[in-house]
Amino acid sequence: MIKDNFIQPTKKGVIAYDHILSFQTSIDELLITARSSYPANVIQAMKVIVSVCKLITEQVENNESRLTSDSKQTLYELKSRFSTALSDLLIAAKHHANGMGISPVSLLDHSAGNLSAVVVDLVRLVGMKDTDNNDQKGFQNDYNNNNTTSAYETNSNSPPSLSQIRSQLKDTDDNYSLLEQTYITPAELTKYLKNETDTIVQTIQNLLSALRLPQNGEVYSIITSLIKIISTIIDKSSSVCSSPSGYAYTRACRPILNELDQCSQRLSLLQKSQFISGAVATANAKRDLAKEAYEIAKYTKELINLFETD
């Protein structure tokens, strides 16, 4: 419900009001930290953001069955945008932490703005609710886990080193692996994508051959390989777009990555519904699977054309 230009909690809302407040505060804290004397601390600030985002997505997924078919389709698209936006922000934070004061804060602002826009759209779709005790406990547990006092925090005059901050990220959410990605240039990405195209073509050929045979689990494994390929392409491309040398490609790159992510999700649905052990895939499912595989090759080629330099 919107009142006086503000979204208000309702009884039918899904996302806890306190989670939204925590998200707002954590984003503000990230951007303030990015402008401080210790820009490497943005990695620590990201821990809280990821925790809040995790709680928000859990609440949405737990209530997904309540939505109409049209709303579920909208949610499907928002979840894809949410995942991409959060990954972009993680990568931007990593580059800012490594930038030693040189990396423009505007890159982090841009990624934070994109994630915030998706959260707004999520709230518009599923609504907010008043926070109950379980919601408060869930966030407090995650917050405490991500704010354990360490030796360097006892001395406010001594800024933490990047290695100290990163040590706190070990054994936490898998999303933090993005913070350790190696920086690559657009030219290096192009080379990688060209090499990956050969792998995709070979994988598609293996897939087409497997589809002609009785199901024996091979198709399931090939789909898994394709999904992993897509994930790596999206991560590497997003990393480049979030870097100073690749920022100019962001607007053109984002729609392509969104299409690849959609391909990945459709592949996953086909895999789980038609190609699990014991299932007999329909002719339509096989045709759809082949189509998605070719789409991956097409969008990878579009990325090559985008990043390739003369």
81 has pLDDT over 90:
no
Q: Structure tokens of 250?
A: 């962001």
CA distance 248 to 251: 7
Question: Which of 84, 104, 131 lies at the terminal end of a domain, its last residue?
Answer: 131
CA distance 108 to 97: 11
pLDDT at 193 (0 to 100): 92
The answer as to whether 116 is a domain residue is yes
pLDDT at 295 (0 to 100): 92
Q: Which tens digits make up the pLDDT trace of 33-79?
A: 888 887 778 888 888 898 899 899 888 888 888 888 888 888 888 88
CATH of the domain at 237: 1.20.120.330
pLDDT at 154 (0 to 100): 34
For the chain, percent of residues with pLDDT exceeding 90: 15
The dihedral built from the CA positions of residue 268, 272, 275 and 281, taken in this order, carries a sign that is negative
Residue 11 shares a structural domain with residue 125 = yes
At residue 303 the predicted structure's pLDDT band, cuts being 50, 70 and 90, is very high
Residue 28 shares a structural domain with residue 127 = yes
DSSP string covering the chain, please?
-EETTEE-B-TT--EEHHHHHHHHHHHHHHHHHHTSS-GGGHHHHHHHHHHHHHHHHHHHHHTGGGS-HHHHHHHHHHHHHHHHHHHHHHHHHHHHHHTTT-S-HHHHHHHHHHHHHHHHHHHHHH-EE---HHHHHHHHHHHHHTT---GGGG-TTSPPPHHHHHHHHTTS-GGGGGGGPPP--HHHHHHHHHHHHHHHHHHHHHHHHHHTSPPSSHHHHHHHHHHHHHHHHHHHHHHHHTSTTTGGGHHHHHHHHHHHHHHHHHHHHHHHHHSSTT----HHHHHHHHHHHHHHHHHHHHHHHHH---
pLDDT at 117 (0 to 100): 93
Q: Which tens digits make up the pLDDT trace of 230-271?
A: 988 988 888 787 666 777 888 888 899 989 988 988 888 888
Residue 120 shares a structural domain with residue 234 = no
Only one residue has tokens 């005059």, namely 157
128 has pLDDT over 80:
yes
Residue 121 shares a structural domain with residue 225 = no
The answer as to whether 143 is a domain residue is no
Question: Which of 131, 146, 170 lies at the terminal end of a domain, its last residue?
Answer: 131
The answer as to whether 22 is a domain residue is yes
For the chain, percent of residues with pLDDT exceeding 70: 77
- Separation of CA 273 from chain center: 24
Q: How many domains does the chain have?
A: 2
Residue 17 shares a structural domain with residue 119 = yes
- Separation of CA 193 from chain center: 20
**Mean pLDDT throughout 184-194?**
88
CA distance 36 to 43: 13
Residue 127 shares a structural domain with residue 215 = no
Q: Which tens digits make up the pLDDT trace of 136-183?
A: 555 455 545 544 333 333 333 444 433 443 444 343 344 444 444 445
Residue 110 shares a structural domain with residue 202 = no
Which structural domain range is residue 276 located in? 186-308
Pairing of strands 6-7, 2-3: antiparallel
CB 98 within 8 Å of CB 183: yes
Residue 198 shares a structural domain with residue 126 = no
The letter for the amino acid at 237 is: S
Angle at 12 between CA 8 and CA 15, to 5 degrees: 65
pLDDT at 169 (0 to 100): 38
Residue 203 shares a structural domain with residue 290 = yes
Q: Which tens digits make up the pLDDT trace of 265-288?
A: 888 888 888 887 666 778 888 888
The answer as to whether 176 is a domain residue is no
4 has pLDDT over 70:
no
CA distance 22 to 52: 7
Residues 6+ apart with CB under 8 A from 148: 168
The answer as to whether 152 is a domain residue is no
The answer as to whether 155 is a domain residue is no
pLDDT at 183 (0 to 100): 56
Question: Which of 98, 114, 131 lies at the terminal end of a domain, its last residue?
Answer: 131
- Beta-carbon count within 10 A of 112 CB: 22
The answer as to whether 136 is a domain residue is no
Nearest of 118, 100, 84, 50 to residue 242 by alpha carbon: 84
Only one residue has tokens 């009001």, namely 17
Q: How confident is the prediction for the chain on average, in pLDDT?
A: 78
The answer as to whether 158 is a domain residue is no
Residue 87 shares a structural domain with residue 210 = no
